[in-house]
Chain A
Amino acid sequence: MNFKELAKKQQTKKVVSGHRACSGCGFPQIVNAVLASTDDPVVVGCATGCLEVTSTIYPFTSWNVPFVHNAFENAAATISGVETAYRALKKQGKIKKEIKFVAFGGDGGTSDIGLQSLSGALERGHKFVYVQYSNEAYMNTGVQRSSATPYGASTTTTPAGKLHLGKEQFRKDITKIVIAHNIPYVAQASVGNLMDLTMKAEKAFKANGPAFLNVLQPCTLGWRYPPEQTIKIGKLAVDCKFWPLYEVENGVYKLNYKPSNPIPVVDYLKTQGRFKHLFTPANKWILDKIQKNVDEEWDKLLKLCGE
């Protein structure tokens, strides 16, 4: 698919405008791109979070496709129930058509409170796509730290103070955790690289079993940057190797993008208010620590990808 085709497919309007996501929010792009990546009817599940609360404010809904929200921590279990019901009806000949299933959850609803539900559904092998839109904190409740929050980021529960300087742990690598489930397809993508995301979503829908996409979604409010910068910041995260684009298809790693001239991670961090406190001489050691971690993780990934 190219941009022109993507734009055309999005005209089917599976999710429509009028939702109440923030100006500059990244997830409408992610959702549109993912839903445009299959021509089959699709049923959407969603965890509690920004996407759910901004798209289903009763009596309105932005969803022109079947949509189910259950709770915060159980989007994967819920869609597994829907998918199983579909299989039961298909077996009985009561449904003939091919239907696809996709669940969306933020990093809180996926990597933290929803991790067990996700792991269970992956292990059981339901045929569904799970998309984590990672904005790297609990944005819906007001920017509290999550296990996906990067080292050094200031959040409302890890504020940069006199003693503590933002989050003091590196983020949980949910992509690797999912890979360990040995499912047919796992990929990491960014809203800044939409065609890469679309290519991955197409593969995910075609996978014969569970598929997982971990998509970086810069958040204008939580990361503290002007709304028009979302796509740019999404690209910078990739270009500085902070958010590598890669996929694991039936166990085989593939690096999808290798920046020819990687930028230093500070060029990415300095675009966002959540890292502002790190840019003092006294805190330079934190920036160095982050760069070191990015380099180490990148090298490990290169080896896994046979690069």
Chain B
Amino acid sequence: MPKTKALTGGEAVAEAMRQVNPEVVAAYPITPQTIIMEKFSEFVADGIVDTELICVESEHSAMSACVGASAAGIRTMTASSSAGLALMWEILGVASGLRLPIVMPIVNRALSGPINIHCDHSDSMGCRDHGWIQIYSENAQEAYENTLLAVRLAEKVLLPAMVCQDGFITSHGVENVKIFEDDKVRKFLGSYKPNKPLLDVNNPVTYGPLQLTDYYFETKRQQEPAMEEAKNSYLQIGKELSKITGSEYGYFEEYQLKDAKAAIVVLNSTAGTAKAVIDKLRKNGKKVGLLKPKLFRPFPYKEIGNALKNIGSIAVLDRSESYGAYAPLFSEIKNACYDTKSKAKLHSCIFGLGGKNIYESDIESIFDKLLTNKLKDKEYIGVR
């Protein structure tokens, strides 16, 4: 029987890491990620996991040590947020370029400056084109399950993966989380079979060589089919995990979307708020719905485009900004809709930077404006 525990999102991910039992974890403290590593450090201290924990002196070294450990041929994890993820940026590309299946829970937090510790998605969006699989999670339960899925997916396609959850809102909010049986989860995870491990001293390999104009492009080109494969494998591995959890692992979740006239597209915890608003508006006969993307890299353009094809009016809510350009999620949704020749009117709403709250009333107002054609092309929600 799965155990239901009262856990924060951070602790839920630590539980997933406990079940993964990676040989090496290298991490550095940063708020709000610390809640994961503090819990995991207790597992290490009590001998509940076999992990060697490297308490490095920076996130740059965290990811660098992960690259070394993963190349050595073992399961490797870390976790980060915000400035920590930004400091890793250079090595994120090394991890994906060397095809190392490192898994990293991310607790989304705003980037400096000004400095701010609260939630937005600037951190993970800032590295969305760096060759990492990205999965977004609405709540603690999803963050837990997505972490398990990410380990298998990363190892299948030899790409690193990050699993995102909202800083404080999810990471520090206590929810009932179902932790599935260790034996079942570990059977799902299987044992890790490394590809050309560095520690195979009888078959020496060179990791990280210099590739110039004659080979670099060819090597980078191979990351794209790996991402395409990740898209298929995500569904397959999701089906396997589903047998344990009963959850569905689609590319995205649709909520009251089929007959909706107006829809919101939003990532992570705000999707939960949107669902509550939709329930309320539906009772009043308003045909509103939600599309919550889960797999953001690789991005399922075709599937999302088809799901939104018949919606008249769509607001894409971004918790990050791309200054001087379309916001990250809006940009992808617009591309997806272009491919299906959708006639939908698309609106970009930026909200919640630096943890600014978004309320049910804000989302209700967006739906009202969508239904009455009053929403501007681009709006900032809740900013003074």
Interfacial residues, chain A to chain B (CB-CB below 8 A)? 41-43, 45, 52-53, 56-59, 61, 63-71, 73-74, 77-89, 91-92, 95, 97, 99, 116-117, 119-121, 123-124
Interface centre among A77, A97, A124 (most CB of B within 10 A): A77
Quick check: is B346 within 8 A (CB to CB) of the other chain? no
Closest to A65 in B: B204
Interface centre among B57, B91, B199 (most CB of A within 10 A): B199
Quick check: is B207 within 8 A (CB to CB) of the other chain? yes
Closest to A64 in B: B204
CA A56 to CA B211, docked complex, whole Å: 8
Query: B52 contacts A53, CB within 8 Å?
Result: no
Closest to B218 in A: A58
- A-side contacts of B212, CB under 8 Å: 57-58
Closest to A67 in B: B206
10 of the cross-chain contacts (CB-CB < 8 Å) are: A43-B199, A56-B210, A63-B206, A66-B205, A68-B198, A69-B207, A77-B60, A80-B65, A116-B58, A123-B57
Quick check: is B56 within 8 A (CB to CB) of the other chain? yes
Given A45-B68, A71-B94, A85-B24, verify A120-B206 contact (CB < 8 Å).
Answer: no
CA A121 to CA B56, docked complex, whole Å: 8
- A-side contacts of B52, CB under 8 Å: 84-85, 87-88, 91
- Within the complex, which residue of A52, A67, A80, A84 is in contact with B204, where a contact is CB–CB below 8 Å? A67
Quick check: is B50 within 8 A (CB to CB) of the other chain? yes
Quick check: is B305 within 8 A (CB to CB) of the other chain? no
Given A65-B204, A123-B57, verify A85-B23 contact (CB < 8 Å).
Answer: yes
- B-side contacts of A121, CB under 8 Å: 61
Query: A66 contacts B204, CB within 8 Å?
Result: yes
Query: B209 contacts A61, CB within 8 Å?
Result: yes
- Among listed B70-78, B118-126, B274-282, interface-contacting one: B70-78
CA A92 to CA B199, docked complex, whole Å: 15
Given A41-B201, A84-B24, A99-B199, verify A68-B208 contact (CB < 8 Å).
Answer: yes
Binary contact track B39-64/A, C-beta < 8 Å → 1, others 0: 00000000000111011111011001
Interfacial residues, chain B to chain A (CB-CB below 8 A)? 23-24, 26, 50-52, 54-58, 60-61, 64-74, 76, 90-91, 94, 198-201, 204-212, 215
- A-side contacts of B204, CB under 8 Å: 63-67
CA A1 to CA B206, docked complex, whole Å: 29
Query: A82 contacts B210, CB within 8 Å?
Result: no
Known contacts A78-B68, A117-B64, A123-B57; 18 additional CB pairs below 8 A are A56-B210, A58-B209, A58-B211, A59-B215, A69-B208, A70-B64, A74-B91, A77-B60, A80-B56, A81-B69, A84-B24, A84-B26, A85-B69, A88-B50, A89-B23, A89-B73, A89-B74, A97-B201
Query: B54 contacts A70, CB within 8 Å?
Result: no
CA A91 to CA B49, docked complex, whole Å: 13
Given A81-B69, A84-B54, verify A57-B198 contact (CB < 8 Å).
Answer: no
- B-side contacts of A95, CB under 8 Å: 199
Query: B210 contacts A119, CB within 8 Å?
Result: no
Query: B199 contacts A74, CB within 8 Å?
Result: no
Give the Cβ gap from B347 to chain A, nearest Cβ, in Å. 41
Closest to A121 in B: B61
Query: B211 contacts A66, CB within 8 Å?
Result: no
Give the Cβ gap from B72 to chain A, nearest Cβ, in Å. 3
CA A116 to CA B28, docked complex, whole Å: 14
- Within the complex, which residue of B55, B58, B73, B200 is in contact with A85, where a contact is CB–CB below 8 Å? B73
Interface centre among B66, B68, B215 (most CB of A within 10 A): B68
- A-side contacts of B64, CB under 8 Å: 70-71, 74, 77-78, 81, 117
- A-side contacts of B56, CB under 8 Å: 77, 80, 120, 124
Given A68-B68, A79-B68, A84-B24, verify A56-B206 contact (CB < 8 Å).
Answer: yes
Give the Cβ gap from A39 to chain B, nearest Cβ, in Å. 13
Q: Which 7 A/B pairs are nearest by Cβ-Cβ distance?
A: A81-B68, A120-B57, A81-B65, A85-B72, A74-B64, A69-B208, A77-B61
Closest to A52 in B: B210
- B-side contacts of A119, CB under 8 Å: 57
Query: A70 contacts B68, CB within 8 Å?
Result: yes
Closest to B219 in A: A58
Query: A61 contacts B24, CB within 8 Å?
Result: no
- A-side contacts of B72, CB under 8 Å: 81-82, 85-86, 89
Query: A67 contacts B207, CB within 8 Å?
Result: yes
Given A80-B54, A120-B56, A124-B54, verify A66-B201 contact (CB < 8 Å).
Answer: yes
Query: A86 contacts B199, CB within 8 Å?
Result: yes
Query: A80 contacts B210, CB within 8 Å?
Result: no
- A-side contacts of B70, CB under 8 Å: 81, 85
- Within the complex, which residue of A59, A82, A116 is in contact with B69, where a contact is CB–CB below 8 Å? A82
Give the Cβ gap from A51 to chain B, nearest Cβ, in Å. 11
CA A80 to CA B56, docked complex, whole Å: 10
Give the Cβ gap from B210 to chain A, nearest Cβ, in Å. 5
- A-side contacts of B209, CB under 8 Å: 56-58, 61, 69
Closest to B28 in A: A120
Query: B210 contacts A53, CB within 8 Å?
Result: yes
Give the Cβ gap from A173 to chain B, nearest Cβ, in Å. 21
CA A52 to CA B206, docked complex, whole Å: 11
- B-side contacts of A117, CB under 8 Å: 57-58, 60-61, 64
Query: A88 contacts B74, CB within 8 Å?
Result: yes
- A-side contacts of B206, CB under 8 Å: 56, 61, 63, 66-69
- B-side contacts of A59, CB under 8 Å: 215
- A-side contacts of B69, CB under 8 Å: 81-82, 84-85
CA A184 to CA B69, docked complex, whole Å: 24
CA A69 to CA B97, docked complex, whole Å: 12
- A-side contacts of B215, CB under 8 Å: 58-59
CA A43 to CA B69, docked complex, whole Å: 12
CA A224 to CA B60, docked complex, whole Å: 36
